[in-house]
Amino acid sequence: MPFVRIDAVQGKPADYLKTVGEVVYEAMRQTLNVPENDRFQVMAEHPAERLIIDKSYLGIQRTGDCVFIQVTLNEGRSVEMKRAFYKTVADGLHERLQQRREDVFISLVEVKKENWSFGNGEAQYA
């Protein structure tokens, strides 16, 4: 049950965030063994002055066009799976939106299964 937050600068075309969400979902299905229809995403646009982006951290040259993707998911994926996910997302965004790979920032937050409630006030995975 991944929960995805996507944050980007305001002013993108209307379907930009929708396409980012599709790329992320497809990458999770391909690389992280996420089941079909397990798609929960929140997308937000922000004024440029509300996104603080270091232009050269770790030697990566970023622009103000950076997109932030945070995925909360069950713990247990291997480093290889995570690397494949990062690459698949960056490549997919580059191919479909001409997004610079340097401007794709991804963070994974791993949690235990009992930390989810899908509704009804129940812990379905506990």
Positions marked catalytic: 2
Q: Tell me the two tokens of residue 88.
A: 């698949």
Residue 65: closest CA among 112, 97, 87, 28: 97
How far apart CA 85 and CA 16 sit, in angstroms, is 20
Residues 126, 89 contacting (CB under 8 angstroms) = no
Cα 3 to chain centroid, rounded: 9
Residues with Cβ < 8 Å from 89, sequence gap 6 or more?
23, 24, 27, 69, 104, 106
